[in-house]
Amino acid sequence: MLHDRLFYSAPSRILFGNGVRRDLAPLLARQGFRHGLIVTDRFFTEKSPIIEELRGLLREHGITSSVSAEGEPDPSVALCLKVQGHVRGSGELDRIDHLIAVGGGSNIDLAKVLSLTLKYGGEPEDYIGEGRIPGKPLPLVAIPTTAGTGSEITAGAILVKHDSDTKVAVMANDLRPAVAVVDPELTLSCPPRVTADAGLDALTHAIESYLTIDSPQFDRQGEADPAYTGRNAMTMLFAAESVRLCFRHLPAAMRDGTNLEARTGMAYGSLFAGLSYASAGLNGVHALAYALAGLTHATHGSTNAVFLPYVMDALRPVRQAELAEIARMAGETGGDDAALALRAVERTRELVEMAGIPTTLPGFGVREEQIEPLARNGIAVARLTRAFPIQPADAAYRRIVANAFSGRLGDAG
């Protein structure tokens, strides 16, 4: 990729390794932090020792902390306002000099928005869109407990709007956590379904960013500090390694959650996927998955997973060589790129089926008359649709949804 137009942004510090969470407190003390707000949910305060362990380590290094355990899946604007009000009413706002998010992507996204509203006031909707934040937010530490979302790397926070199922994004490079702490030991407690959902989310991030629009063709819309910029040589290196790791380790992690080697492999896979898509960006899979989630309220990982093979299939005419490489990353051999590209699609769908996730839309309760509205709602996610490698995307999206309904593969259009 000799003609890249590379713009890359990532957290300033990434800690990775089993037990590495214990290295966080001395790092924060070295940076001069004194009081943190831990943003999590009741599972971690009531059924896990993680929060108390973390608070103890912070105290040992002279850092006090308070806890908000109000996190929920798919955080809404209303939830952000509620937590914001509770923190302001606690009398501790003036003491807070950093936030620590513990949990899945939903808790990290909630903390990202709070890092803005607690410092600058206003409502979350004031910041929806790209580049609308007034300045640097409160520093955020992200400690993911799943291997999938990559939120500890990304510049975005996804929220559900008031009185609707519509998901919107607050996007700015300064929202990327100041410190990402990726400790595979924290994923050992994930049940098989969460492991599957998160793992397929990571694989989607890797494959989608590996196939997305090239950086010179990406429309930055005049943004001087863009969050997404299309794929480039650096993002493709991270994506390729993530694909290899996910195909190698996700089946074992789903079979045996205590398999630390598999958990570590998936933690690396999720991290590398984040380091790819958080710069390259995403496109059709996520656009259509958001539409499906709005219709069915199914989990993010599962709505991505059902569309992923069909989006890959639709891209075979323009991404055959890359799809052939994905097949080789999954363990396939051979020199026929056309056959390997189709095999990459099939292998991906086989992995989705192995995870116990429906491989067609009727498995989510979708009816035939909902095909067109689903496609239309996916097309409407402009920030993702404009990055789809086939433009205009409308006909491809409609074919993808129809094929995902019928289960048809091999229809590249």
Same domain as 170, residue 211: no
Same domain as 223, residue 165: no
Residue 412 lies in a domain: no
Residue 222 lies in a domain: yes
Residue 7 lies in a domain: no
Decide if pLDDT at 163 tops 90. Answer: no
Residue 311 lies in a domain: yes
Same domain as 168, residue 22: yes
128 CA to centre of own chain: 18
pLDDT level of residue 166 (50, 70, 90 thresholds) = confident
Any idea what the Cα angle at residue 26 is, between residues 23 and 32, rounded to 5°? 140
Per-residue model confidence (pLDDT) at position 161: 85
* Alpha carbon distance 125, 372 (integer Å): 29
Residue 140 lies in a domain: yes
Residue 73 lies in a domain: yes
First to last CA, the chain: 27
Domain residues for the domain of 314 are 192-406
Same domain as 241, residue 357: yes
Q: How many domains does the chain have?
A: 2
Domain boundary among 159, 187, 215: 187
* Alpha carbon distance 323, 319 (integer Å): 6
Domain boundary among 187, 204, 238: 187
Per-residue model confidence (pLDDT) at position 168: 85
Same domain as 127, residue 235: no
Same domain as 263, residue 164: no
Give the pLDDT confidence of 24-57 residue by residue, as tens digits: 999 999 999 999 999 999 999 999 999 999 999 9
Decide if pLDDT at 164 tops 90. Answer: no
Same domain as 66, residue 23: yes
Domain boundary among 171, 187, 203: 187
Same domain as 343, residue 197: yes
Same domain as 234, residue 178: no
Per-residue model confidence (pLDDT) at position 373: 96
Region 60-82: mean pLDDT is: 96
Decide if pLDDT at 1 tops 70. Answer: no
Same domain as 282, residue 393: yes
Query: What DSSP assignment string belongs to 348-380?
Result: HHHHHHHTT--SSGGGGT--GGGHHHHHHHHHT
Q: What is the pTM of this model?
A: 0.96
Which CATH number covers residue 199?
A: 1.20.1090.10
Residue 314 lies in a domain: yes
Which CATH number covers residue 55?
A: 3.40.50.1970
Decide if pLDDT at 82 tops 80. Answer: yes
pLDDT level of residue 131 (50, 70, 90 thresholds) = confident
- The residue among 329 and 167 whose pLDDT is bigger is 329
Residue 1 lies in a domain: no
Same domain as 248, residue 341: yes
Decide if pLDDT at 413 tops 70. Answer: no
Q: Is there a cis peptide before residue 216, judged by omega within 30 degrees of 0?
A: no
Same domain as 57, residue 156: yes
The overall average pLDDT reported for the chain is 96
* Alpha carbon distance 24, 172 (integer Å): 24
Q: List Cβ neighbours of 59 (8 Å cut-off, separation of 6 or more).
A: 65
Decide if pLDDT at 70 tops 80. Answer: yes
